[in-house]
């Protein structure tokens, strides 16, 4: 995933508008939560993402490709059933909560 993000930045001389930045952040979070690179050959999926960007596509096209692969981009409560803290969904939720200002959990021993 980081290779696709780095290539995206490179193609745009590392200058992103606030809208591009927010769309790219959305793509990263949803791609992580839905396991974009853990479904099938990650090299093939990365090749698709790089080709999309190389051909002039942007975040809209990246999100469209992700939607084709995983269907819905939202996360429903039933997708959390049976998952534990090691799940990509929970890791993604942690990132979103922290970005929104939630305090880090404190562990007691």
Token pair listed for 82: 């049976």
Give the pLDDT confidence score for residue 52 in this predicted structure: 93
- What is 7-66 written as a DSSP string? HHHHHTTT---HHHHHHHHHHHHHHHHTTGGGSS-HHHHHHHHHHHHHTT--HHHHHHHH
Question: Domain for residue 85, yes or no?
Answer: no
pLDDT over threshold 80, residue 85:
no
Question: Domain for residue 20, yes or no?
Answer: yes
Q: What is the pTM of this model?
A: 0.78
Give the pLDDT confidence score for residue 78 in this predicted structure: 83
Question: Domain for residue 105, yes or no?
Answer: no
pLDDT over threshold 80, residue 30:
yes
Cβ count within 10 A of residue 36: 24
Number of independent structural domains in the chain: 1
- Are 85 and 79 within 8 A, CB to CB? no
Question: Domain for residue 87, yes or no?
Answer: no
Domain housing 66: 2-76
**Between these two residues, 83 and 107, which has the higher pLDDT value?**
83
Question: Domain for residue 101, yes or no?
Answer: no
Pairwise CA distance, residues 107 & 94, whole Å: 15
């Amino acid at each position: 995933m980081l290779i696709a993000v780095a290539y995206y930045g490179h193609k745009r001389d590392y200058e992103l508008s606030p809208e591009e930045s927010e769309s790219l952040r959305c793509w990263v979070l949803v791609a992580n939560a839905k396991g974009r690179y853990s479904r099938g050959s990650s090299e093939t999926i990365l090749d698709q993402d790089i080709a999309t960007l190389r051909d002039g596509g942007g975040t809209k096209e990246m999100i469209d490709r992700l939607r084709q692969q995983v269907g819905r981009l939202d996360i429903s409560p039933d997708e959390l059933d049976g998952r534990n803290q090691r799940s990509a969904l929970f890791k993604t939720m942690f990132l979103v909560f922290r970005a929104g200002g939630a305090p880090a959990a404190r562990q007691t021993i």
